Amino acid sequence: MTSEYPKIVVKPPGPKASELIEREKRVISPGLGVKLFPVVPERGYGALIEDVDGNIFIDFLAGAAAASTGYAHPRLVKEVQEQVAKIQHSMIGYTYSKRAIEVAEKLAEKAPVEEPLILFGMSGSDAMDLTMQAARFATKRPWMIAFIGAYHGQTYGATSIAAFQSSQKRGLSPLIPGVVWVPYPNPYRNVWGINGYDEPDELINRFLDYLEGYIFAHVLPPDETAVLIAEPIQGDGGIVVPPENFFIELKRLLDEHGILLAMDEVQTGIGRTGKWFASEWFGVKPDLLAFGKGVASGMGLSGVIGRRDLLENLTSGSALLTPAANPVVSAAAHATLRIIEEENLLQNALRVGEFIQKRLREMQEEYDVIGDVRGRGLMIGAEIVKADGKPDPELTGKICWRAFELGLILPSYGMFGNVIRITPPLVITEELAERGLEIMEQALKDALAGKVTHRVVTWH
Protein backbone atom coordinates (compact mmCIF):
# COMPACT_ATOMS: atom_id res chain seq x y z
CA MET A 1 0.00 0.00 0.00
CA THR A 2 1.17 3.53 -0.81
CA SER A 3 0.44 4.67 2.74
CA GLU A 4 3.20 2.35 3.98
CA TYR A 5 5.89 4.38 2.26
CA PRO A 6 8.35 5.85 2.82
CA LYS A 7 9.71 3.65 5.60
CA ILE A 8 12.66 4.91 7.62
CA VAL A 9 13.99 2.20 9.96
CA VAL A 10 17.25 3.96 10.84
CA LYS A 11 18.13 7.63 10.47
CA PRO A 12 19.88 8.01 7.11
CA PRO A 13 22.64 7.58 6.38
CA GLY A 14 22.54 4.38 8.39
CA PRO A 15 25.62 2.39 9.51
CA LYS A 16 25.91 0.24 6.36
CA ALA A 17 25.52 3.27 4.08
CA SER A 18 28.05 5.26 6.12
CA GLU A 19 30.59 2.44 5.92
CA LEU A 20 30.23 2.15 2.13
CA ILE A 21 30.52 5.91 1.70
CA GLU A 22 33.84 5.83 3.56
CA ARG A 23 35.03 2.86 1.48
CA GLU A 24 34.23 4.72 -1.73
CA LYS A 25 36.33 7.69 -0.69
CA ARG A 26 39.38 5.41 -0.55
CA VAL A 27 39.04 4.01 -4.08
CA ILE A 28 36.87 6.24 -6.30
CA SER A 29 37.79 9.72 -7.53
CA PRO A 30 35.45 12.58 -6.55
CA GLY A 31 35.53 13.53 -10.21
CA LEU A 32 32.98 10.77 -10.74
CA GLY A 33 30.11 12.99 -9.70
CA VAL A 34 28.31 15.29 -7.30
CA LYS A 35 26.91 13.22 -4.43
CA LEU A 36 23.49 14.76 -3.91
CA PHE A 37 22.54 12.45 -1.03
CA PRO A 38 24.34 9.99 1.27
CA VAL A 39 22.16 7.13 0.06
CA VAL A 40 23.36 3.70 -1.09
CA PRO A 41 20.54 1.94 -3.00
CA GLU A 42 20.26 -1.82 -2.59
CA ARG A 43 17.14 -2.48 -4.65
CA GLY A 44 14.18 -0.68 -6.12
CA TYR A 45 10.60 -1.31 -7.13
CA GLY A 46 8.42 1.08 -9.08
CA ALA A 47 9.19 4.59 -7.82
CA LEU A 48 10.67 3.37 -4.53
CA ILE A 49 14.31 2.80 -3.54
CA GLU A 50 15.46 0.64 -0.63
CA ASP A 51 18.91 1.40 0.73
CA VAL A 52 21.44 -0.99 2.27
CA ASP A 53 20.08 -0.25 5.76
CA GLY A 54 16.51 -1.14 4.83
CA ASN A 55 15.20 2.43 4.52
CA ILE A 56 12.65 2.82 1.74
CA PHE A 57 12.52 6.19 -0.04
CA ILE A 58 10.07 7.71 -2.49
CA ASP A 59 12.21 8.66 -5.49
CA PHE A 60 11.67 12.06 -7.13
CA LEU A 61 15.06 11.85 -8.92
CA ALA A 62 14.89 8.62 -10.97
CA GLY A 63 18.66 8.46 -11.27
CA ALA A 64 18.94 11.83 -13.05
CA ALA A 65 15.60 11.28 -14.82
CA ALA A 66 16.87 8.05 -16.38
CA ALA A 67 14.87 5.29 -14.65
CA SER A 68 11.88 5.91 -16.88
CA THR A 69 10.08 2.61 -16.17
CA GLY A 70 11.04 2.71 -12.51
CA TYR A 71 12.94 -0.10 -10.86
CA ALA A 72 12.72 -3.84 -11.48
CA HIS A 73 9.85 -3.57 -13.94
CA PRO A 74 9.03 -7.25 -14.58
CA ARG A 75 8.85 -6.88 -18.37
CA LEU A 76 12.21 -5.14 -18.49
CA VAL A 77 13.79 -7.72 -16.18
CA LYS A 78 12.44 -10.61 -18.24
CA GLU A 79 13.60 -9.27 -21.58
CA VAL A 80 17.09 -8.42 -20.33
CA GLN A 81 17.50 -11.80 -18.63
CA GLU A 82 16.40 -13.65 -21.75
CA GLN A 83 18.80 -11.66 -23.91
CA VAL A 84 21.88 -12.02 -21.69
CA ALA A 85 21.30 -15.77 -21.65
CA LYS A 86 21.52 -15.78 -25.47
CA ILE A 87 24.40 -13.42 -26.24
CA GLN A 88 25.60 -10.42 -24.25
CA HIS A 89 27.72 -8.66 -26.86
CA SER A 90 27.92 -8.18 -30.59
CA MET A 91 29.56 -5.10 -32.00
CA ILE A 92 27.20 -3.22 -34.29
CA GLY A 93 30.14 -1.42 -35.87
CA TYR A 94 31.30 -4.70 -37.41
CA THR A 95 28.20 -6.93 -37.52
CA TYR A 96 24.43 -6.51 -37.52
CA SER A 97 22.08 -6.62 -34.55
CA LYS A 98 18.42 -7.57 -34.65
CA ARG A 99 17.88 -5.90 -31.30
CA ALA A 100 19.52 -2.61 -32.32
CA ILE A 101 17.53 -2.54 -35.56
CA GLU A 102 14.27 -3.01 -33.64
CA VAL A 103 15.12 -0.13 -31.31
CA ALA A 104 16.17 2.12 -34.21
CA GLU A 105 12.92 1.39 -36.05
CA LYS A 106 10.85 2.33 -33.00
CA LEU A 107 12.83 5.54 -32.39
CA ALA A 108 12.57 6.54 -36.04
CA GLU A 109 8.80 6.03 -35.83
CA LYS A 110 8.45 8.28 -32.76
CA ALA A 111 10.98 11.04 -33.46
CA PRO A 112 9.89 14.46 -34.81
CA VAL A 113 12.67 14.35 -37.44
CA GLU A 114 12.19 14.20 -41.21
CA GLU A 115 13.35 10.91 -42.84
CA PRO A 116 15.45 9.91 -39.83
CA LEU A 117 18.60 7.85 -39.55
CA ILE A 118 20.10 6.91 -36.21
CA LEU A 119 23.54 6.73 -34.58
CA PHE A 120 24.00 4.89 -31.29
CA GLY A 121 26.14 5.81 -28.31
CA MET A 122 26.31 4.90 -24.63
CA SER A 123 25.58 8.11 -22.70
CA GLY A 124 24.16 11.56 -23.21
CA SER A 125 27.68 12.95 -23.29
CA ASP A 126 28.87 10.92 -26.26
CA ALA A 127 25.51 11.52 -27.95
CA MET A 128 26.37 15.21 -27.87
CA ASP A 129 29.80 14.48 -29.30
CA LEU A 130 28.12 12.58 -32.14
CA THR A 131 25.75 15.51 -32.67
CA MET A 132 28.66 17.92 -33.02
CA GLN A 133 30.48 15.57 -35.40
CA ALA A 134 27.42 15.15 -37.59
CA ALA A 135 26.69 18.88 -37.75
CA ARG A 136 30.21 19.91 -38.66
CA PHE A 137 30.71 17.07 -41.13
CA ALA A 138 27.41 17.67 -42.93
CA THR A 139 27.68 21.46 -43.17
CA LYS A 140 31.48 21.82 -43.47
CA ARG A 141 31.12 24.82 -41.16
CA PRO A 142 33.21 25.35 -37.99
CA TRP A 143 31.11 27.41 -35.59
CA MET A 144 28.50 26.23 -33.09
CA ILE A 145 26.07 28.12 -30.83
CA ALA A 146 24.93 26.86 -27.44
CA PHE A 147 22.92 28.27 -24.53
CA ILE A 148 24.11 29.55 -21.19
CA GLY A 149 22.64 27.27 -18.53
CA ALA A 150 22.90 24.13 -20.66
CA TYR A 151 24.41 20.96 -19.25
CA HIS A 152 25.33 18.75 -22.20
CA GLY A 153 27.58 16.19 -20.52
CA GLN A 154 31.09 15.39 -19.38
CA THR A 155 33.15 14.20 -22.35
CA TYR A 156 35.58 16.74 -23.75
CA GLY A 157 33.19 17.55 -26.57
CA ALA A 158 30.10 17.84 -24.37
CA THR A 159 31.99 19.89 -21.79
CA SER A 160 33.14 22.21 -24.56
CA ILE A 161 29.59 23.21 -25.44
CA ALA A 162 28.14 23.16 -21.91
CA ALA A 163 27.67 26.38 -19.93
CA PHE A 164 25.97 25.20 -16.75
CA GLN A 165 28.64 25.83 -14.10
CA SER A 166 32.09 27.22 -14.78
CA SER A 167 33.56 24.62 -12.40
CA GLN A 168 32.72 22.01 -15.04
CA LYS A 169 35.54 23.42 -17.19
CA ARG A 170 38.05 24.35 -14.51
CA GLY A 171 41.54 23.10 -15.35
CA LEU A 172 40.53 21.49 -18.65
CA SER A 173 41.31 24.16 -21.25
CA PRO A 174 41.90 24.40 -24.10
CA LEU A 175 38.55 22.89 -24.98
CA ILE A 176 37.06 22.43 -28.44
CA PRO A 177 37.09 25.84 -30.17
CA GLY A 178 34.41 27.51 -32.25
CA VAL A 179 31.60 27.72 -29.66
CA VAL A 180 29.60 30.86 -28.80
CA TRP A 181 27.04 30.98 -25.98
CA VAL A 182 23.82 32.96 -25.83
CA PRO A 183 21.30 33.52 -22.99
CA TYR A 184 18.37 31.12 -22.76
CA PRO A 185 14.95 32.83 -22.86
CA ASN A 186 13.97 31.99 -19.28
CA PRO A 187 10.52 33.56 -18.75
CA TYR A 188 11.05 33.89 -14.98
CA ARG A 189 14.67 35.02 -14.73
CA ASN A 190 16.32 36.39 -17.89
CA VAL A 191 19.06 38.91 -18.67
CA TRP A 192 16.62 41.33 -20.30
CA GLY A 193 14.42 41.68 -17.21
CA ILE A 194 11.29 40.74 -19.15
CA ASN A 195 8.38 38.86 -17.59
CA GLY A 196 8.21 36.14 -20.19
CA TYR A 197 4.96 34.75 -18.82
CA ASP A 198 3.16 38.04 -19.39
CA GLU A 199 5.11 39.05 -22.51
CA PRO A 200 6.32 35.89 -24.25
CA ASP A 201 6.54 37.49 -27.69
CA GLU A 202 8.63 40.36 -26.33
CA LEU A 203 11.07 37.87 -24.80
CA ILE A 204 11.29 35.92 -28.06
CA ASN A 205 11.85 39.07 -30.12
CA ARG A 206 14.48 40.37 -27.72
CA PHE A 207 16.42 37.12 -28.02
CA LEU A 208 16.16 37.00 -31.83
CA ASP A 209 17.29 40.63 -32.08
CA TYR A 210 20.26 39.79 -29.90
CA LEU A 211 21.16 36.72 -31.96
CA GLU A 212 20.92 38.49 -35.30
CA GLY A 213 21.94 42.02 -34.35
CA TYR A 214 24.84 41.19 -32.06
CA ILE A 215 25.99 37.58 -32.47
CA PHE A 216 25.63 37.23 -36.25
CA ALA A 217 26.59 40.83 -36.92
CA HIS A 218 29.60 41.12 -34.62
CA VAL A 219 30.69 37.76 -33.17
CA LEU A 220 30.54 35.00 -35.78
CA PRO A 221 29.50 34.83 -39.44
CA PRO A 222 26.21 32.95 -39.83
CA ASP A 223 27.35 31.40 -43.12
CA GLU A 224 30.16 29.70 -41.19
CA THR A 225 27.89 28.49 -38.37
CA ALA A 226 27.02 24.80 -38.45
CA VAL A 227 24.50 24.33 -35.68
CA LEU A 228 22.67 25.80 -32.73
CA ILE A 229 22.37 23.25 -29.92
CA ALA A 230 19.53 23.58 -27.42
CA GLU A 231 17.65 21.72 -24.72
CA PRO A 232 13.95 22.17 -25.51
CA ILE A 233 13.52 22.50 -21.74
CA GLN A 234 16.69 23.21 -19.79
CA GLY A 235 17.18 20.43 -17.27
CA ASP A 236 20.03 20.91 -14.83
CA GLY A 237 19.80 24.65 -15.48
CA GLY A 238 16.56 24.62 -13.49
CA ILE A 239 13.72 23.00 -15.51
CA VAL A 240 13.40 26.15 -17.62
CA VAL A 241 10.54 26.14 -20.13
CA PRO A 242 10.88 28.74 -22.93
CA PRO A 243 7.91 30.59 -24.47
CA GLU A 244 5.72 28.33 -26.58
CA ASN A 245 6.61 29.85 -29.97
CA PHE A 246 10.30 30.32 -29.26
CA PHE A 247 11.69 27.39 -31.22
CA ILE A 248 9.39 27.95 -34.21
CA GLU A 249 10.66 31.52 -34.54
CA LEU A 250 14.25 30.49 -33.85
CA LYS A 251 14.20 27.75 -36.47
CA ARG A 252 12.83 30.16 -39.03
CA LEU A 253 15.83 32.44 -38.50
CA LEU A 254 18.31 29.55 -38.49
CA ASP A 255 16.88 28.18 -41.74
CA GLU A 256 17.45 31.54 -43.41
CA HIS A 257 21.17 31.11 -42.75
CA GLY A 258 21.39 27.35 -43.38
CA ILE A 259 22.15 26.69 -39.70
CA LEU A 260 21.03 23.38 -38.23
CA LEU A 261 18.94 23.09 -35.07
CA ALA A 262 20.05 20.25 -32.79
CA MET A 263 17.91 19.39 -29.78
CA ASP A 264 19.54 17.81 -26.74
CA GLU A 265 16.70 15.56 -25.60
CA VAL A 266 18.85 13.34 -23.42
CA GLN A 267 16.80 14.35 -20.39
CA THR A 268 13.58 15.58 -21.98
CA GLY A 269 13.04 12.69 -24.40
CA ILE A 270 11.44 9.23 -24.18
CA GLY A 271 8.23 10.33 -22.48
CA ARG A 272 9.69 12.46 -19.69
CA THR A 273 7.52 15.50 -20.53
CA GLY A 274 4.38 13.56 -21.49
CA LYS A 275 5.34 13.37 -25.15
CA TRP A 276 7.88 11.10 -26.76
CA PHE A 277 10.12 14.12 -27.30
CA ALA A 278 9.78 17.58 -25.78
CA SER A 279 10.37 19.21 -29.18
CA GLU A 280 6.76 18.23 -29.90
CA TRP A 281 5.55 20.68 -27.25
CA PHE A 282 7.00 23.52 -29.31
CA GLY A 283 5.85 22.43 -32.75
CA VAL A 284 9.36 22.20 -34.16
CA LYS A 285 11.18 19.48 -36.10
CA PRO A 286 14.90 19.57 -35.29
CA ASP A 287 17.51 18.59 -37.82
CA LEU A 288 19.38 16.53 -35.22
CA LEU A 289 18.08 15.14 -31.94
CA ALA A 290 20.17 13.56 -29.19
CA PHE A 291 18.62 10.99 -26.84
CA GLY A 292 19.82 8.96 -23.86
CA LYS A 293 19.03 8.47 -20.15
CA GLY A 294 15.52 7.00 -20.16
CA VAL A 295 15.62 5.16 -23.49
CA ALA A 296 16.84 1.95 -21.80
CA SER A 297 15.60 2.88 -18.32
CA GLY A 298 19.11 4.07 -17.43
CA MET A 299 21.02 1.08 -18.80
CA GLY A 300 23.55 2.91 -20.95
CA LEU A 301 22.15 3.61 -24.40
CA SER A 302 22.11 6.92 -26.24
CA GLY A 303 22.35 8.27 -29.73
CA VAL A 304 21.43 10.80 -32.38
CA ILE A 305 18.39 10.87 -34.63
CA GLY A 306 19.03 13.00 -37.66
CA ARG A 307 17.76 13.83 -41.11
CA ARG A 308 18.86 11.24 -43.62
CA ASP A 309 20.72 13.77 -45.77
CA LEU A 310 22.80 14.76 -42.73
CA LEU A 311 23.77 11.27 -41.56
CA GLU A 312 23.87 9.05 -44.64
CA ASN A 313 27.27 10.27 -45.86
CA LEU A 314 29.21 10.09 -42.59
CA THR A 315 32.58 8.42 -43.03
CA SER A 316 32.30 4.70 -42.33
CA GLY A 317 33.30 4.01 -38.72
CA SER A 318 33.51 7.67 -37.68
CA ALA A 319 30.77 7.07 -35.08
CA LEU A 320 31.92 3.60 -34.00
CA LEU A 321 31.71 2.84 -30.27
CA THR A 322 32.33 -0.78 -29.25
CA PRO A 323 29.59 -1.33 -26.60
CA ALA A 324 26.98 0.91 -28.24
CA ALA A 325 23.55 -0.74 -28.62
CA ASN A 326 24.88 -4.12 -27.56
CA PRO A 327 22.18 -6.82 -27.40
CA VAL A 328 21.51 -6.55 -23.66
CA VAL A 329 21.11 -2.77 -23.51
CA SER A 330 19.10 -2.89 -26.75
CA ALA A 331 16.80 -5.44 -25.11
CA ALA A 332 16.36 -3.01 -22.23
CA ALA A 333 15.55 -0.20 -24.67
CA HIS A 334 13.15 -2.38 -26.64
CA ALA A 335 11.34 -3.30 -23.42
CA THR A 336 11.34 0.31 -22.19
CA LEU A 337 9.81 1.68 -25.38
CA ARG A 338 7.11 -1.01 -25.38
CA ILE A 339 6.33 -0.46 -21.70
CA ILE A 340 5.94 3.29 -22.20
CA GLU A 341 3.66 2.73 -25.17
CA GLU A 342 1.58 -0.20 -23.95
CA GLU A 343 1.19 0.95 -20.34
CA ASN A 344 0.23 4.50 -21.37
CA LEU A 345 3.08 6.13 -19.48
CA LEU A 346 2.89 9.29 -21.59
CA GLN A 347 -0.63 9.81 -20.33
CA ASN A 348 0.46 8.97 -16.79
CA ALA A 349 3.25 11.54 -16.99
CA LEU A 350 0.76 14.19 -18.09
CA ARG A 351 -1.84 13.28 -15.48
CA VAL A 352 0.47 12.92 -12.50
CA GLY A 353 2.60 15.86 -13.64
CA GLU A 354 -0.49 18.08 -13.79
CA PHE A 355 -1.43 16.95 -10.28
CA ILE A 356 2.06 17.75 -8.96
CA GLN A 357 2.12 21.20 -10.53
CA LYS A 358 -1.37 21.97 -9.21
CA ARG A 359 -0.31 20.98 -5.70
CA LEU A 360 2.92 23.01 -5.97
CA ARG A 361 1.00 26.09 -7.10
CA GLU A 362 -1.26 25.72 -4.08
CA MET A 363 1.87 25.63 -1.93
CA GLN A 364 3.18 28.67 -3.82
CA GLU A 365 0.07 30.60 -2.73
CA GLU A 366 0.87 29.76 0.90
CA TYR A 367 4.65 30.08 0.93
CA ASP A 368 6.27 33.20 -0.52
CA VAL A 369 9.60 31.39 -0.82
CA ILE A 370 8.28 29.43 -3.81
CA GLY A 371 8.91 31.94 -6.55
CA ASP A 372 8.04 29.90 -9.63
CA VAL A 373 6.60 26.51 -10.59
CA ARG A 374 7.18 25.22 -14.10
CA GLY A 375 7.61 22.14 -16.24
CA ARG A 376 5.96 19.66 -18.54
CA GLY A 377 4.84 16.15 -17.67
CA LEU A 378 7.09 14.64 -15.02
CA MET A 379 9.85 17.20 -15.49
CA ILE A 380 8.99 19.87 -12.92
CA GLY A 381 10.88 22.58 -11.08
CA ALA A 382 10.03 24.76 -8.10
CA GLU A 383 12.27 27.80 -7.66
CA ILE A 384 13.02 28.83 -4.08
CA VAL A 385 13.67 32.54 -3.52
CA LYS A 386 14.39 35.12 -0.84
CA ALA A 387 12.03 37.97 0.03
CA ASP A 388 13.63 40.14 -2.68
CA GLY A 389 13.15 37.45 -5.33
CA LYS A 390 16.82 36.49 -5.48
CA PRO A 391 17.76 32.78 -5.47
CA ASP A 392 17.95 31.06 -2.08
CA PRO A 393 20.20 28.01 -2.47
CA GLU A 394 20.68 27.72 1.30
CA LEU A 395 16.98 27.22 2.02
CA THR A 396 16.62 24.98 -1.04
CA GLY A 397 19.38 22.70 0.21
CA LYS A 398 17.84 22.49 3.67
CA ILE A 399 14.41 21.61 2.27
CA CYS A 400 15.91 18.80 0.24
CA TRP A 401 18.00 17.50 3.15
CA ARG A 402 15.02 17.39 5.48
CA ALA A 403 12.97 15.64 2.79
CA PHE A 404 15.74 13.03 2.55
CA GLU A 405 15.62 12.46 6.32
CA LEU A 406 11.85 11.98 6.02
CA GLY A 407 12.19 9.46 3.18
CA LEU A 408 11.98 11.46 -0.05
CA ILE A 409 14.76 11.72 -2.63
CA LEU A 410 14.27 15.36 -3.66
CA PRO A 411 17.22 16.96 -5.48
CA SER A 412 18.15 20.62 -5.83
CA TYR A 413 19.50 21.90 -9.14
CA GLY A 414 19.55 25.03 -11.24
CA MET A 415 22.09 27.60 -12.33
CA PHE A 416 21.91 29.14 -8.85
CA GLY A 417 21.29 25.94 -6.89
CA ASN A 418 17.79 27.05 -5.87
CA VAL A 419 15.46 24.87 -7.93
CA ILE A 420 13.81 21.77 -6.49
CA ARG A 421 13.76 19.22 -9.26
CA ILE A 422 10.96 16.67 -9.54
CA THR A 423 11.66 13.99 -12.16
CA PRO A 424 10.29 10.71 -10.77
CA PRO A 425 9.97 7.46 -12.73
CA LEU A 426 7.20 7.65 -15.31
CA VAL A 427 5.37 4.83 -13.49
CA ILE A 428 4.79 6.88 -10.33
CA THR A 429 1.19 6.95 -9.14
CA GLU A 430 -0.74 10.03 -8.10
CA GLU A 431 -1.04 8.60 -4.60
CA LEU A 432 2.72 8.16 -4.19
CA ALA A 433 3.35 11.61 -5.71
CA GLU A 434 0.91 13.12 -3.21
CA ARG A 435 2.73 11.43 -0.32
CA GLY A 436 6.02 12.81 -1.64
CA LEU A 437 4.59 16.32 -1.84
CA GLU A 438 3.32 16.04 1.72
CA ILE A 439 6.88 15.27 2.79
CA MET A 440 8.22 18.17 0.72
CA GLU A 441 5.80 20.57 2.42
CA GLN A 442 6.76 19.29 5.85
CA ALA A 443 10.43 19.69 4.94
CA LEU A 444 9.72 23.26 3.81
CA LYS A 445 7.98 24.05 7.10
CA ASP A 446 10.85 22.54 9.12
CA ALA A 447 13.45 24.48 7.13
CA LEU A 448 11.57 27.76 7.56
CA ALA A 449 11.25 27.06 11.29
CA GLY A 450 15.01 26.70 11.62
CA LYS A 451 14.87 23.01 12.48
CA VAL A 452 17.26 21.90 9.72
CA THR A 453 21.02 22.25 10.13
CA HIS A 454 22.26 20.31 7.08
CA ARG A 455 21.74 20.93 3.38
CA VAL A 456 22.15 18.73 0.34
CA VAL A 457 25.18 19.08 -1.87
CA THR A 458 24.58 20.24 -5.43
CA TRP A 459 26.58 21.52 -8.40
CA HIS A 460 28.76 24.51 -7.59
Beta strands, E only, 158-208 = 179-182
Give CA–CA dist 311/139, Å, rounded.
11
Give CA–CA dist 228/262, Å, rounded.
6
DSSP class of residue 71?
A: B
Give me the residues paired with residue 373 across strands: 382
Give CA–CA dist 222/381, Å, rounded.
34
State the number of CA atoms in the 13 A half-sphere of 199 facing the CB.
11
Give CA–CA dist 359/302, Å, rounded.
33
What does the radius of gyration of the chain's CA atoms come to, in whole angstroms?
Answer: 22
**SS3 track for 6-27:** CECCCCCCCHHHHHHHHHHHHH
pLDDT in tens, the chain (460 residues): 566 899 999 999 999 999 999 999 999 999 888 889 999 999 999 999 999 999 999 999 999 999 999 999 999 999 999 999 999 999 999 999 999 999 999 999 999 999 999 999 999 999 999 999 999 999 999 999 999 999 999 999 999 999 998 888 999 999 999 999 999 999 999 999 999 999 999 999 999 999 999 999 999 999 999 999 999 999 999 999 999 999 999 999 999 999 999 999 999 999 999 999 999 999 999 999 999 999 999 999 999 999 999 999 999 999 999 999 999 999 999 999 999 999 999 999 999 999 999 999 999 999 999 999 999 999 999 999 999 999 999 999 999 999 999 999 999 999 999 999 999 999 999 999 999 999 999 999 999 999 999 999 887 6
Domains in the chain, CATH or no CATH each: 15-63+344-449 (3.90.1150.10), 75-343 (3.40.640.10)
